[in-house]
Amino acid sequence: MIPQFPLLNVTDVVFDEILSQLELNEIFNLSICSLKTADIVRCHLRKSIRYPLFVDTKEKNGITFGFIREKERVNMMSIRHEELYTNQKEFEEVNIKAMKLNVCKYQDHYSFFVYPEDEPVLFFFKSINCELIFQDAFSLVLSHIADLFREYIKILYCNSPWMMSCIGLQNSGSLWMTYAGGDECEEFVKLSDYELETSIKTGGLQLCSYLSKDYNFALTREYEYVRVERAPEARSYDVLDVAVRSKEVVFDQSDLVSKSLNNIFKIWLENRIDRLKFLSIRMKSYKEFLAFIGMEHRISDTTEEVNYKSYTGELYQLSPGKRLRRDDGVIASFSYDPNTQILNFGVVDVVN
């Protein structure tokens, strides 16, 4: 017989020390043992958690909850459709928000199986949680995580913008980052669909799907950071549509040439994209003299090394390169790397 440790009978000091040695996924697993355990664990979690919580809804037949530790994802729990269920799985009974559920090990975490809303419930599958549909299960786990850690989900991975509305109904805060779409996403999604009245706000938005030439980049909300991964036909007006409401803008692909960049520089000089603090674009082509036409007197060389730390923590080199000065004294540094074809532009100083 395996001896049992009387965890709930230890002193508060000992329990605090035990929790301090556990990872968030281990604390989560402990909290679902029983309603009593969840209450005790929550009372002892007095400090804010160090790692941002995420939910990944991109998988076709499942949703995964976890946290980001040192840029690596650590899974805590997932919800999966019953079609992934096999009789070989060993189930354990847990308690989430006073509801008893059957869970089993799935890869590196616990998972429980539910039925899609549009399918009949087959009650002879006793290990499947017949009383829950998928959306209810999602709300249940989301609520438990928020109550336990006193933190809301900060990072969302999604293919469909309706998930932002689903989280927005339960989350009074805002997301730190949303990663939308990807190679596996076949649905065409308008940018405005991420900005519905019911959608939760997000500080950062990264568009991961391929976006065609006629894609509408106009934003209605303000962002700290917007990154567009795959828009090889993006023009200067597309970049400007994003820049007018974003503090930091990154285009990993574009169709921009020197004349397009010249237009962006002129609009910045006219204070028409004043919110913009940083811009990084992979150019289609770049010739310096074409980019500087009409503003040569405002540009000077700089050898001072200047880097810009972005919203996501990435460092971008702004100089050695060039400096562009506006009439109001605002100075921006920018540099172009011919090897990567990337131009970085960032506001670095205000001269009174």
Instruction: Compute the half-sphere exposure of residue 219: CA atoms within 13 Å on the CB side of its CA.
Output: 24
pLDDT grade, residue 117 (50/70/90)? low
Give the E-state strand segments of the chain in sequence order.
53-56, 62-69, 72-81, 91-96, 99-106, 109-114, 155-158, 175-180, 202-210, 223-230, 246-251, 278-282, 299-309, 315-325, 330-337, 342-350
The model's pLDDT over 272-299, given as tens digits with 9 standing for 90+, comes to 999 999 999 999 999 999 999 999 999 9
Average pLDDT over residues 212-232: 96
The per-residue pLDDT for 75 is 96
Q: Does the pLDDT value for residue 228 go beyond 90?
A: yes
The per-residue pLDDT for 293 is 96
Q: Does the pLDDT value for residue 148 go beyond 50?
A: yes
Q: Does the pLDDT value for residue 124 go beyond 50?
A: no
Cβ-Cβ contacts under 8 Å for 43 (sequence gap 6 or more): none
The model's pLDDT over 343-352, given as tens digits with 9 standing for 90+, comes to 999 999 755 4
Q: Are 216 and 238 in contact (CB under 8 A)?
A: no
The per-residue pLDDT for 88 is 53
Ranges 119-123, 186-190, 241-245, most confident: 241-245
How close are the terminal C-alpha atoms of the chain, in Å? 77
Q: Does the pLDDT value for residue 2 go beyond 50?
A: no
Give the type of residue at 89. K
Alpha helices of 75-194 — where are they, by DSSP H? Answer: 134-149, 162-168
The model's pLDDT over 251-268, given as tens digits with 9 standing for 90+, comes to 999 999 999 999 999 999
pLDDT grade, residue 325 (50/70/90)? very high
Say how far apart CA 89 and CA 117 lie, in whole Å.
23
The per-residue pLDDT for 1 is 37
The residue that leads in pLDDT, 270 or 83, is: 270
Nearest partner of 79 among 50, 117, 123, judged by Cα: 117
The per-residue pLDDT for 351 is 54
**Tokens standing for residue 125:** 């599958």
Q: Are strands 342-350 and 278-282 parallel, antiparallel or unpaired?
A: antiparallel
What percent of the chain is predicted at pLDDT more than 70?
89
The model's pLDDT over 35-88, given as tens digits with 9 standing for 90+, comes to 888 998 998 887 778 899 999 999 877 899 999 999 899 999 999 876 555 555
DSSP one-letter code for 133: B
Task: Flag whether the pTM goes above 0.85.
Answer: yes
Average pLDDT over residues 147-168: 90
Nearest partner of 136 among 172, 169, 180, 179, judged by Cα: 169
pLDDT grade, residue 211 (50/70/90)? very high
Say how far apart CA 207 and CA 153 lie, in whole Å.
19
The per-residue pLDDT for 82 is 65
- The overall average pLDDT reported for the chain is 87
